[in-house]
A and B are shown apart, each in its own frame.
Chain A
Amino acid sequence: MRIILLLLGLLLGQTVVAADALPEDSVYQLRDNFTDQDGREFVLASRRGTPQLVAMFYTSCRYVCPLIIDSAKAVNHELGPDERAALRMLLISMDPVRDTPAVLRATADQRKLDSQRWTLAQTGKDSVRRVAALLGVRYRELNDGEFNHTSALVLLDADGRVLARTEQLGSKPDPAFMDQVHAALAKPGAKTMPDLSTKN
């Protein structure tokens, strides 16, 4: 495991070449491996093709984290059916020790998150740090295993570029952020979901 993480670390920052080159300001430049709630491994770049709503959380959090899922749900709630079908959600845990795929699966079930559209992901401690840096999320692990962290919803375009972010959480979405979500989903080509079977 350690060796794998090390190798992944060495890959960090390698640019993707040739026809499918990612924009250099894409968060998907990160090459770290993630594991979803069903135990499937993926890299962020595999999520190219549709806009994403991304946030970081951890399941044992008693305070703000339930609110993060609530806030992402609230964004979805304001979308029309076509828009909703075209937006995918990615919640990345900052607690790789406790948030195993089984725990993430249980959370997804408990919060009634449709796995076709919602991905809850675990990744290694080092890549948690890297993805948090890319998303502008600040966090610190506490002595009792809880985390201090800033909470943000980040909107990525189909190529993983940050379009908008908000730290305004709650059941009423940030209007300026909502405008950006609508705009992103109105773009041609953003209406259809990619085939999830090719996710890996």
Chain B
Amino acid sequence: MRLLPLALLMLPALGTAGGGYVGLPGGIYKSVLAYEDTGGNIPLAAFDLMRQPVTNAEFLEFVRRHPQWQRPNVPSVFAESRYLSHWAGAMELGSTALPDQPVVQVSWFAASAYCEADAARLPTWNEWEYAAAADETRRDARADPAWRTQILSWYSRPSNQALAQVGQSPANYYGVQDLHGLVWEWTEDYASMLVSADNRTQNEQDRLQFCGAGAIAMDDRENYAVLMRVALLSSMEGAHLTSNLGFRCARNVTGTTP
């Protein structure tokens, strides 16, 4: 179990190929989101996750092969008009979109299509949170105040600075990089976060709005870094995009069910 990530760490960097996928073992972990039906304990099957976020260069190659995702061809229902607008052209990155920077200004529909073309999918929120709970040596570093402080210091950097290249941060326990401190990331089930703007007050309208068991509670109020992600994703629609929201893909491991 411990050997696999270490072995992957020793692989040479693959440039814009992004280092491909690494395998994460399954297990039960405690999500920061405590739903009524789960109590926060989430069983996860083993899955593969991209080592780094998808880069501009990789996304450019994708739109080359799938012209329907080139900027002029994407209907507005699938991506807002600012889709990839930081690129110099539909097929040109230019100086404001370096090849090894993570691709941003991509909608959930576009990110999903990229992953499908890679015989993959976006990670679920649970998979993302599980992977992001690790630091360099521990599978779950979330209870460590020093680790939390470090993550929060990343988030406190001004967002108008140019994005760093992918792969600059140390790999975590699983060999995954850039889960914190670089970009926000889409998840497959971003729309499963039933956090309404006013669900602090569960009035009649809210109860009608949500079918079945009630909305989520934040089980770990100290974990601001993750809660910020929840807040962001729960405010997004599928065609939305922002200048610091990117993605990476995940895959089921053969023989397991998600």
Residues of A that sit less than 8 Å from B by CB: 6, 9-10, 12-15, 22, 24-27, 29-30, 61, 63-65, 67, 129-130, 132-134, 136-144, 146-151, 167-170
Contact = CB atoms under 8 A, between A and B. Distances in A.
Interface in B71-122: 73-78, 108-110, 112-113, 116-117
Contacts, number: 114
Given A12-B109, A13-B75, A29-B75, A142 B238 contact: no
13 contacts: A13-B113, A15-B68, A22-B75, A24-B75, A26-B77, A29-B75, A61-B211, A64-B208, A130-B112, A130-B238, A136-B237, A142-B37, A150-B210
A149 B109 contact: no
Contacts of B38: 143
Which size class do B's interface residues fall under?
A: 35 or more
A97 B77 CA distance: 27
Contact of B211 (A30, A64, A132): A64
Contacts of B202: none
B211 A149 contact: yes
B120 to A, nearest CB: 11
Contact of A149 (B188, B193, B210, B237): B210
B143 interface: no
A27 B75 CA distance: 10
Contacts of A65: 211
A9 B113 contact: yes
B253 interface: no
Contacts of A149: 194, 210-212
Contact of A150 (B73, B189, B194): B194
Interface string B144-160: 00000000000000000
A9 B238 CA distance: 15
Given A30-B77, A148-B212, 11 more contacts: A13-B69, A25-B77, A29-B77, A64-B211, A65-B211, A130-B238, A137-B191, A139-B192, A140-B35, A148-B211, A151-B209
Contact of A148 (B73, B205, B213): B213
A13 B78 contact: yes
A15 B79 CA distance: 13
B189 A26 contact: no
A29 B113 CA distance: 14
A66 B38 CA distance: 25
Given A15-B75, A63-B212, A133 B193 contact: no
Contacts of A25: 75-77
B108 A133 contact: yes
